[in-house]
Chains A and B, each alone.
Chain A
Amino acid sequence: GNSVTQMEGPVTLSEEAFLTINCTYTATGYPSLFWYVQYPGEGLQLLLKATKADDKGSNKGFEATYRKETTSFHLEKGSVQVSDSAVYFCALSPQGYKLSFGAGTTVTVRA
């Protein structure tokens, strides 16, 4: 079946540190891949997406590259801020609908 496995948290970082959240997937065919972010007390927001192999999604300083050979879509940011504290979800859409989500990774950035 289709599934997403993402790095367990929580992750605690200092400001300006480098952030990586690992995400691997299992799917048939060629799924689209997504990262969503959930700030405290809010719903989820689409952070970035990639729809085919080798695509790089980017937004707000975050990047992720669709790697079919390693079935991965790791999220990275070079210099985090306190405002990046949130829960991050990796997700896939094997047929373009009905997203499957990872369990979420809680990130806390300290000043």
Chain B
Amino acid sequence: DVKVTQSSRYLVKRTGEKVFLECVQDMDHENMFWYRQDPGLGLRLIYFSYDVKMKEKGDIPEGYSVSREKKERFSLILESASTNQTSMYLCASSSDRAGGYTFGSGTRLTVV
């Protein structure tokens, strides 16, 4: 069964910490995405990547960065975590330009 795996289901971090959220896919997909999901706001795109070492900003990139050193791995980095970054983070991948994303199970991050 094809998978997108996010390293943690739940994380609690302190304000100001540097936080790494890891995502790995085993489908050889070129495209990978990071979204955050908040009640009443739906899903918002943070960053995406079409290829190794390539990244593009989504709709809400402020306070975040990403890294894609290998095709299967796409990391989201919170340089200095803040309480307004408490959210559910969803990673997704796709292999074609017609959509049909495969999502991971999500990481619920709480910043205290």
Report which A residues bind B (CB closer than 8 A): 32, 34, 36, 41-46, 49, 51, 89, 91, 93, 95-99, 101-104
Contacts and interface: CB of A to CB of B under 8 A. Distances in A.
A32 B98 contact: yes
Interface stretch (B61-69, B70-78, B79-87, B103-111): B103-111
A7 B58 CA distance: 25
B56 to A, nearest CB: 9
Contacts of B92: 44
Interface residues of B, number: 25
Contacts of B40: 103
Contacts, number: 57
A80 B98 CA distance: 29
Contact of A46 (B42, B96, B97, B100): B100
Interface of B: 4, 31, 33, 40-43, 45, 48, 50, 58, 90, 92, 94, 96-106
A98 B45 contact: yes
B105 to A, nearest CB: 5
Contacts of B98: 32, 49, 51, 93, 96
Contacts of A41: 105
B9 to A, nearest CB: 9
Contacts of B31: 97
A43 B90 contact: yes
A46 B43 contact: no
Contacts of A46: 100-102
Contacts of B99: 32, 34, 49, 91, 93, 96-97, 99
B100 A103 contact: no
Contacts of B42: 89, 101-104
B97 A95 contact: yes
A49 B105 contact: no
Contacts of A43: 4, 90, 103-106
A50 B75 CA distance: 31
